Amino acid sequence: MLGGRSMAEYTKVALDAMGGDYAPAEIIKGAVDAVNKRKDIRVVVVGKEDIIKAELAKYTYDKEQIEIRNASEVIETAEPPVMAIREKRDSSLVVGMNMVRQKEADALVSAGSSGAILVGGQVIVGRIKGVERPPLAPLLPTKKGFSLLIDCGANVDARPSHLVQFAKMGSIYMENVMGVKNPKVAIVNIGAEEEKGNALVKETFPMLKACPEIHFTGSIEARNIPYGDSDVVVCEAFAGNIILKLYEGVGGVLVDKIKEGMMKSLRTKIGALLVKPALKETMKGFDAGEYGGAPLLGLNGLVVKTHGNSKAREVCNSIIQCVTFKEQKINEKIRDSIQKEKE
């Protein structure tokens, strides 16, 4: 019980305190911010207990909402993922994933090694029966709001049947977590025409077209993704990761160039002061951290990968994101959709 609540009434999130560029300070601050915003969250901070205690001592929060689970080891980003998951059984990541597997937590949030999260998600948490490959699905800011990019890093060599499942899982996520009714689904391609694309796209296109569970609109070229022409952008992880990294890079350069231009002269500095509030609001909409992390969809429990350089705000939003995922029973809906496909 938590303050008179049963576990069904709150969401319990295991948080990998040791993963990420700014761990553990920013990760723990994110946990505190999350529980101070929401009373229906309980966070289990997993990692080196003495370090976590020292960080938590800096903050004021409801002590019933945060607990510590000691883990003596840390998986470093450069470590081979399979070996790290197998050998470092008392690492913060493995301990957190085992909590999800054993239903001691509803979700795991980590900013740690992407490879270890992908391996651990499949090996420890396990796939929903019938899910061929769990995809990593971040939200991309667009002119119209946001789009889900699926897959961006889990399955470099995907088959057509994998992409069809990605489309279904992505549609379920966008409709139920993000509130987009009848989300538009498109496959990444080098042109809008059906006959264009590589072998994978050409084979997948008619399968998506024939799928009654999704609102398939055809192909989408990379330049149309930022305009929000599609709600669910489907591709294998090789193309998806290129799209994601280019998106981040161009966004960063644009912000730097805007700042540089505004500081050129006294006139531009005065102009910058006048437009600063509107510009700040606009830039906020293009900050992926506003939407939390990328869920690894199709597992028996929720695993959320936040950016390696995540700070407290993104960690906080990732934790809060887990509440909607649980409330909307996303895993159950994915399971139902996949089972229907097998019938």
pLDDT tens per residue, range 129-154: 999 999 999 999 999 999 999 999 98
Residue 2 has pLDDT above 50, yes or no: no
Q: Other C-beta atoms within 10 Å of 207: how many?
A: 15
Task: Provide the pLDDT for residue 282.
Answer: 77
3-state secondary structure of 46: strand
189 φ/ψ sector (left φ>0, alpha ψ -120 to 50, else beta): beta
Contact 119, 305 (CB under 8 A): no
Task: Provide the pLDDT for residue 252.
Answer: 85
Residue 341 has pLDDT above 90, yes or no: no
Task: Provide the pLDDT for residue 342.
Answer: 67
d(CA 37, CA 52): 20
Task: Provide the pLDDT for residue 211.
Answer: 96
The domain spans of the chain are 7-131+298-329, 139-285
pLDDT tens digits, one per residue of 17-65: 999 999 999 999 999 999 999 999 999 999 999 999 999 999 999 999 9
139-285: CATH class? alpha beta
Pairing outcome for strands 66-70 and 41-47: parallel
Query: Whole-number mean pLDDT of the chain?
Result: 93
Sequence-ordered list of residues with C-beta below 8 angstroms from that of 46, at least 6 positions apart, any chain: 14, 15, 16, 17, 18, 68, 69, 71, 92, 95, 96, 99
Strand residue runs (E) in the chain: 11-16, 41-47, 66-70, 107-110, 139-142, 145-150, 184-188, 215-220, 232-234, 294-295, 302-305
pLDDT tens digits, one per residue of 116-132: 999 999 999 999 999 99
pLDDT tens digits, one per residue of 158-170: 999 999 999 999 9
- CATH architecture under which domain 7-131+298-329 falls: 3-Layer(aba) Sandwich (3.40)
Task: Provide the pLDDT for residue 1.
Answer: 45
Residue with tokens 């350069």: 253
Exposed/middle/buried for 212, CB within 10 Å: 0-12, 13-18, 19+? exposed
Among the residue ranges 195-199, 314-318, 339-343, the one predicted with the least confidence is 339-343
pLDDT tens digits, one per residue of 191-248: 988 889 999 999 999 999 999 999 999 999 999 999 999 999 999 999 999 999 999 8
Residue 286 has pLDDT above 80, yes or no: no
> What's the token pair of residue 133?
């490959």
pLDDT tens digits, one per residue of 56-91: 999 999 999 999 999 999 999 889 999 999 999 999
